[in-house]
Amino acid sequence: MAYFDAASAAPLHPVARQALLASLDEGWADPARLYREGRKARMLLDAAREAAAEALGCRADEVVFTSSGTRAVHTGVMGALAGRRRVGSHLIVSAVEHSSALHAAEVFESDGGTVTQVAVSRAGTVEPAAYQAALRPDTALAVLQSANHEVGTVQPVAEVAEVCRAAGVPLLVDAAQSLGWGPVEGDWSLLAASAHKWGGPSGVGLLVVRKGVRFAAQGPVDERESGRAPGFENLPAIVAAVASLRAVRAEAAQEAVRLRELTDRIRTRVPELVPDVEVVGDPERRLPGIVTFSCLYVDGEALLHELDREGFSVSSGSSCTSSTLTPSHVLKAMGVLTEGNVRVSLPMGTAEEDVERFLAVLPDAVAGVREKLGAPAAPAARQGAGEVLVDSLGKRCPIPVIELAKVFGQVPVGGIVRVLSDDEAARLDIPAWCEMRGQEYVGEEPAERGTAYLVRRVG
């Protein structure tokens, strides 16, 4: 089985396993106690904190260990906002942040705060000028991920940090995806990360709060982790997390070159091997191991099952793979095709042969899913009425797009196809189809049921 979902969770690094097992014997006692076993545990915890600080480029007393990366983001966002409540109640986030940041923003907004979401380009990148334009006198905090978890796009953190610093606003960086590849550049104020993203054990997060940042921990606190992460520390997991971070950093430069070549190969060859594919994310400013593409006329969940049967573990941002049946907020913000989406995220050590086998298997897997869905093999050639109505109410994407493609040849140049749909993904995927096909997306109109999406044939 080829595991290609490292962006969700990287396999446990051998160094992490060794450190975990050793710490189970040495680090089981309460590091807050003064007897011998407690002092031994405290030495392990202090050493892990020092090592983490060195890797992060900060002071040891600025590092807090939390129970997860999500908890680190929540604690960091809410603590910084509370600490700066006298400044104001305005929060800035990008539209493609991890759900942990967006959920924290939702809670803040429901409690009376205001939130500005900064838009991104079609490649998923924010512009520092957009953050600058979003800043207000009452802005308490800005949040920006270092690299996107779904498409791998690397954000201009240093430039955004400079803009925020000039305005006196702290910037919290979610570095979960990038920290294993190297430290985060720029004059950021807070940072959050998650150990299972770089090959450490799950259940360990990192939160850095720079000295001088006003911070007020929310909820009940105790004496542990500077009062910012209550509860008994999972010391063996913490030691393993930091040991694995140091290990992957030592391998990062060499592996980055190798994995970037493999993902470049996927980015180039998938559109050559599979028709009607959109490769998404920035082609240059991206993490080494992530490549994401979307296939027209394909149900993402069905494609993932086909690839799983062929021995490949990949993930998807398609709406059909989530219980909410709504499109990925990242792909939606980028304005790209959401259905038939595949994210390949290669862990360190991925074999070249596995990538070649994936490229060999993918075309038949996509073709099989399209055939089952009745996707058109080629555009229809006949011409008829100046307007055609497609009733796709009650059908989930990619079916509305498939039905659009099947009838599109029935209208003459200048003619309109009106697609009725009540699936939110159609609002993204029909315009994406138009862009891929060189046709004109006219817009949408309210309908008695659902929405009417209008497409004009231009050629």
Residues that are catalytic: 320
The secondary structure of the chain in percent helix, strand, coil, rounded to multiples of 5, reads 40, 20, 40
Report in angstroms the alpha-carbon separations of 312 from 215, 255, 278. Answer: 44, 21, 20
Dump the DSSP string for 211-261: TT------S---SGGGGTS-S---HHHHHHHHHHHHHHHHHHHHHHHHHHH
Around 46, how many Cα atoms within 13 Å sit in the side-chain half-sphere? 8
Cα separation values, 238 from 44, 51, 64, 70, Å: 9, 11, 11, 16
SS3 at position 143: strand
Q: For residues 301 and 93, give the distance between their C-alpha atoms in angstroms, rounded to a whole number.
A: 29
Q: CA–CA separation, 281 vs 278, rounded Å?
A: 10
Report the run of H or E that residue 125 belongs to, with start and end: none
CA 192 – CA 166 distance, rounded (Å): 22
* The pair of three-digit structure tokens given for residue 86, joined into one six-digit string: 């006298």
What distance in Å separates the CA atoms of residue 346 and residue 289, rounded to the nearest whole number? 5
Residue among 322, 362, 365, 315 at smallest CA distance from 343: 315
Name the residue with tokens 């990148």: 125
Residue 117's nearest CA partner among 343, 332, 319, 287 is 332
CB of 148 within 8 A of CB of 197?
no
Q: Residue 448 burial by CB count (10 A; 0-12/13-18/19+): exposed, middle or buried?
A: exposed
How far apart (Å, rounded) are the C-alpha atoms in residues 342 and 363? 13
By the 10 Å C-beta count (0-12 exposed, 13-18 middle, 19+ buried), 330 is classed as buried
Burial code of 4-26, b = ≥16 C-beta within 10 A, e = fewer?
A: bbbbebbebbebbeebbeebeee
Secondary structure of residue 153 in the 3-state scheme:
strand
How many CB atoms within 10 Å of residue 349?
13
